[in-house]
Amino acid sequence: MTLPDKEVKKTKIIIKELRKHIPFTAIGAFIGIFIMAIFYNIPFNISYNIFYTLHPLHVFLSAFTTTAMYILYTNNKKRQKIWAMILIGYFGSVGIATLSDSIIPYLGEVLLSMPDRGIHIGFIEKWWLVNPLAFLGIVIAYFKPTTKIPHAGHVLLSTWASLFHIIMALGGAINWGFTAVIFIFLFIAVWVPCCTSDIVFPLLFIRERNSYKGHGCNRKI
């Protein structure tokens, strides 16, 4: 079965953007390993608080970017699809940021037999913080869908949030033989989810025949 030209174009854009994200994600993961070398033995409550600073900010930024992408590339100038915009902005940020910052790192912790400090689901555990920030990102994008935030910053923020979920599990002790594996989990936790949130997810709901050129990490999104 041959895909329509529009779907082929979307697929090419997604593959291109995934490829462009590789160096930025790798740099973020390397920086994450460096940070872990410095902060791996901090108390649980400090790493917990850092995580719940970075994760909500990641959700806010993701909600803003995902919503803005949807608005801009559906030519939704009259904002007629408000409920669609809200649902796309919310699930594209909270859902995917949770996968990136919590679920994938937790799977890494389990596979590496780290102490089980639990999985921290922000929109449930800190619902009063994470959910309002997601909706704030959606509202800002609604009024000003300019997407002028550097995507590299989004990648780094997501990497660090994932990292501090892992640091919570370290409990002040680390097996440096796991460093390469932790790097891989950091990379996976950011690379695919961030691209999915900012590019793939909004594109799934674009039906109009408008021009979409992608945003890429090498330019402002």
Most confident of 11-20, 94-103, 192-201: 94-103
Query: In the chain, where are the structural domains located?
Result: 11-204
pTM here is 0.84
Kindly report which listed range (9-18, 28-37, 66-75, 137-146) carries the lowest average pLDDT score: 9-18
Residue with tokens 């594109």: 203
3-state helix, strand, coil in the chain (%, to 5): 75, 0, 25
Structural contact between residues 56 and 128, judged by C-beta atoms closer than 8 angstroms: no
Model confidence at 80, pLDDT cuts 50, 70, 90, reads low
Residue 208 has pLDDT above 80, yes or no: no
Q: How far is CA 146 from CA 68, 69, 179, in A?
A: 7, 9, 38
Percent of the chain with pLDDT over 70: 82
What type of residue sits at position 190? V
Residue 221 has pLDDT above 70, yes or no: no
CA proximity to 138, closest of 53, 69, 77, 46: 69
HSE at residue 82, side-chain half, CA atoms within 13 A, is 7
Model confidence at 220, pLDDT cuts 50, 70, 90, reads very low
pLDDT number for residue 15: 80
DSSP three-state, residue 206: coil
Mean pLDDT score of the chain, rounded to an integer? 81
- Of residues 153 and 162, more confidence is placed in 162
pLDDT number for residue 132: 98
